[in-house]
C-alpha cells in the first residue's frame, strides 16, 4: 500500500523539557493506527506535530515525501492541512456559526468549492451521522457527542487523505462515547486512513490495524491489536494494560 505520511526521528521540546524523543512512524493508505499511553506521554503532542500545530526541534514529518514540518512556507502548510483532517478533544466547533455553516465554511472559503455542491455534501454527511435535523442549530444546542460527530463531518468534507483524532471521546459522558466511536468505526471499515489517540482500549483493539504504545515521549511497543493486547512484549506495556484493565470494565 502507498505510504501517505512518514515521521522521521521527530524530537519535540518545550523549553528544555523533552516531550518527544526520536519518534519515527510510517502510515500507509487505509491503515488505522491507535496510539495509547498514559497521560503526559506525548501522544497528543505527537498528533499535533503531524499537521504543524506544534513546531518540532529535530527530525521531520513528510506527507507524500514532502516535508510539511518543519515548514516555513505558510501556503504549503495550509495546503497540506487540507489533506490532514483533525478532530480535537472538544470545544472546537465555531460557536457563532450554525452546524451547517461549521461544516461548509472551510470547503467554500479554503478550497473555493461551489456552495451548492458543498451544502449538498454536508447534508449527506450530516445524515450519515444522524444529525441532518440539526443543520440550523448552533453548537451550544447540541450534546457533546453530537458536537463531536459534527466535528468529524467538518473534517471529512475537506476530503482529507488522513484523519487525526485526538482523544475525541475523552471529554464526553459515558453514554455519548458510543455514538461517536461508532461513527469512527464505520469510517475505519470504509478504508479511511486514521491515526487515533484514545483512552478507550477496547475501542483501539476493535478499530485499529496497528496499536502503538507510547510512554515518556517514545514508542515503547507497536503491533497488531490482538497480539499487542494479548501478548505484550515489554514489561512497561504489560504494566500499563494491567493498570488500565482495573478501570475498564
Partner 1 sequence: MEALGFDVLLKGNNMLRLLQGLGVALKISLISVLISIGLGIVFGMLVSMKKPAINAVFNVYLEIVRIMPQMVLLFIVYFGTTKSLGLNLSAEAASIIVFSFWGTAEMTDLVRSAIISIPVIQYESSAALGMSRLQTQVHIIIPQTVRRLIPLSINLITRMIKTTSLVMMIGIVEVLKVGQQIIEANRKASPNAAFGIFATVFILYFIACWPISQLSKYLENKWAN
User: Footprint of partner 1 on this chain (CB under 8 A)?
Assistant: 51-53, 74, 78-79, 81-82, 84-86, 88, 91-96, 105-106, 109-111, 138, 140, 151, 154-155, 158
Please say whether the beta carbons of 64 and 160 come within 8 A. no
CB of 109 to partner 1, least distance (A): 6
Q: How far is the CB of 150 from partner 1 (least distance, A)?
A: 12
Find out whether 150 and 99 touch, Cβ atoms under 8 Å: yes
Contact indicator for 32, 190 with CB cutoff of 8 Å: no
**Smaller CB separation from partner 1, 149 or 210:** 149
How far, in Å, CA of 86 to CA of 106, rounded?
13
Least Å distance, CB 229 to partner 1, is 30
CB nearer to partner 1: give 81 or 210.
81
Q: Which is nearer to partner 1, 46 or 229 (CB)?
A: 46
Count of beta carbons in the 10 Å neighbourhood of residue 234: 12
Q: How far is the CB of 239 from partner 1 (least distance, A)?
A: 33
Cα-based distances in Å from 211 to 1, 9, 142, 164: 18, 19, 32, 15
Q: Smallest distance from the beta carbon of 86 to partner 1, in angstroms?
A: 4
93 vs 219, beta carbon nearer partner 1:
93
Please name the helix (run of DSSP H) or strand (run of DSSP E) that holds residue 225, with its range, or none.
Answer: helix 225-230
CB of 22 to partner 1, least distance (A): 25
Query: Which of residues 50 and 201 has its CB atom nearest to partner 1 in the complex?
Result: 50
CA distances (Å), 8 to each of 26, 49, 62, 197, in order? 8, 12, 8, 19
Closest separation between CB of residue 30 and partner 1, Å?
22
Cβ 225 vs Cβ 208: under 8 Å: yes
Tell me whether residue 112 or residue 249 sits nearer to partner 1 (CB atom). 112
90 DSSP 8-state letter: S
Nearest residue (CB) to partner 1, 158 versus 172: 158
Length of the chain: 249
Name residue, grid cell 496497528.
210
- Could you tell me which of 114, 133, 132 has the C-alpha nearest to residue 124? 132
Are 36 and 212 in contact by the 8 Å Cβ rule? The answer is yes
Amino acid at each position: 500500500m502507498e505510504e501517505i505520511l512518514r515521521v522521521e526521528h521527530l524530537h519535540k521540546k518545550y523549553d528544555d523539557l523533552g516531550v518527544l524523543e526520536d519518534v519515527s512512524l510510517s502510515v500507509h493508505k487505509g491503515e488505522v493506527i491507535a496510539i495509547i499511553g498514559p497521560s503526559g506521554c506525548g501522544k497528543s503532542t505527537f498528533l499535533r506535530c503531524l499537521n504543524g500545530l506544534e513546531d518540532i526541534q529535530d527530525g521531520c514529518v513528510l506527507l507524500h515525501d514532502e516535508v510539511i514540518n518543519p515548514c516555513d512556507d505558510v501556503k504549503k502548510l495550509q495546503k497540506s492541512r487540507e489533506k490532514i483532517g483533525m478532530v480535537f478533544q472538544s470545544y472546537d466547533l465555531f460557536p457563532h456559526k450554525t452546524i451547517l455553516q461549521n461544516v461548509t465554511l472551510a470547503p467554500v472559503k479554503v478550497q473555493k468549492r461551489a456552495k451548492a455542491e458543498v451544502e449538498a455534501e454536508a447534508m449527506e454527511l450530516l445524515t450519515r451521522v444522524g444529525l441532518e435535523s440539526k443543520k440550523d442549530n448552533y453548537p451550544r444546542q447540541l450534546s457533546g457527542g453530537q458536537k463531536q460527530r459534527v466535528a468529524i463531518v467538518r473534517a471529512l468534507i475537506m476530503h482529507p487523505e488522513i484523519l487525526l483524532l485526538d482523544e475525541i471521546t475523552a471529554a464526553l459522558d459515558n453514554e455519548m462515547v458510543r455514538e461517536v466511536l461508532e461513527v469512527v468505526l464505520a469510517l475505519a471499515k470504509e478504508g479511511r486512513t486514521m491515526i487515533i489517540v484514545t483512552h478507550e482500549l477496547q475501542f483501539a483493539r476493535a478499530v485499529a490495524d496497528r496499536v502503538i504504545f507510547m510512554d515518556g515521549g517514545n514508542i515503547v511497543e507497536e503491533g497488531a491489536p490482538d497480539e499487542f493486547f494479548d501478548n505484550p512484549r515489554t514489561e512497561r506495556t504489560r504494566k500499563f494494560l494491567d493498570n488500565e484493565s482495573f478501570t475498564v470494565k
